[in-house]
Structure 1
Amino acid sequence: MQTNPHLKQSARDLPIVATLVDNDHERLRCLPAIAGNRCVVLENTIYATLARICASYDGGYWHFYQLSNGGFYMAPDSDAMLRLSCANYFEDEVSANTAGIIATASAYSTLSFLQDGACFAIAYHQLSDFIFQHRDAGLIRAALD
């Protein structure tokens, strides 16, 4: 008797899909869905994180991505490779999308230590599940560890 392989697969093993949020109305809902009234703190922490680890970052438009597991991340709108230099001695060039994942995950981690920071810890774990299947998983984990 053969069993459908999908029936044996846990939800964590299913691919997590990132979808670009390109509707302005939907974009306005993304950050409050994660952080509630601290959405401005989250957004500014993500921007500040990238500014701290990327000397060439000087602001600009960011793309928002919803993950199929309920997660979320932001990434700068750029085709350029960004040189990152992190406090853990990670130094390398990554795509803007990968830099955004790193900045978002780092911001979630930092904010998770705030009083009532559980929403950021949950967001971190959702993004982390996506990171483990990402093509740049090794670079992202190295930058975050």
Structure 2
Amino acid sequence: MLTSDQDRVLSAVVPDELRLNVLPSLLGRHYAVGESLVYDWARRLCTAYQGGLWHFFTLSNGGFYMAPATLGRVAVRWHMNGYNDMMGADAFGIVVTLYALCHLSEKTRDDTVIDRYHQLREFAAQHVEAVNILRAID
């Protein structure tokens, strides 16, 4: 399915001076747990992940994601769905944010968190590494 330019979801990096406010505004009272879950899923899905600086991105459809600033291509593996492949840091960030949002939505049943998941999923489907991202979350 082709997407017209007006239907494309665009991402924008959050400037450093605005980072403190972005997750509370997007996840409400669940922001701290949500951020922690992103880092936890990064460790679960990539044995080479050792922490570091992350970029925050907002999406034109109201969503967001986080991605490691310093990783190149990484090996990602999840035993529950048999996924085992390489992907870029941006795609990895999308995958771990999707897993974190799914986890958080199961814990909280908060419609806002569920909306954030679907907004990011829409963006992921248009990403240059969409096939890999969607295989990783299947």
TM-score (norm 2): 0.91
Deviations 1:35-60 (A, max 9, x none): 21221100000000010010000000
Unpaired stretches in structure 1, ≥5 consecutive residues = 1-9
RMSD: 1.8
After TM superposition, the structure 1 = structure 2 runs for residues 28-43 of structure 1, keeping only pairs within 5 Å, are 28-43=20-35
SS at match of 1:74: strand
Deviations 1:102-143 (A, max 9, x none): 000111111111234222110000001101111111100000
CA distance in 2, matches of 1:61, 1:95: 16
CA distance in 1, matches of 2:31, 2:96: 15
Deviation of 1:30 (Å): 1.2
CA distance in 2, matches of 1:45, 1:117: 16
Q: Quote the sequence identity (%).
A: 35
Kindly name which structure, 1 or 2, has the bigger radius of gyration based on alpha carbons. 1
CA distance in 1, matches of 2:71, 2:105: 30
Letter in 2 for 1:73: Y
Deviation of 1:79 (Å): 4.4
Unpaired stretches in structure 2, ≥5 consecutive residues = none
Where do 4+ consecutive residues of structure 1 move more than 6 Å? none
2:66 to 51, 74, 81: 74
CA distance in 2, matches of 1:95, 1:115: 30
CA distance in 1, matches of 2:102, 2:110: 9
Count of residue correspondences: 135
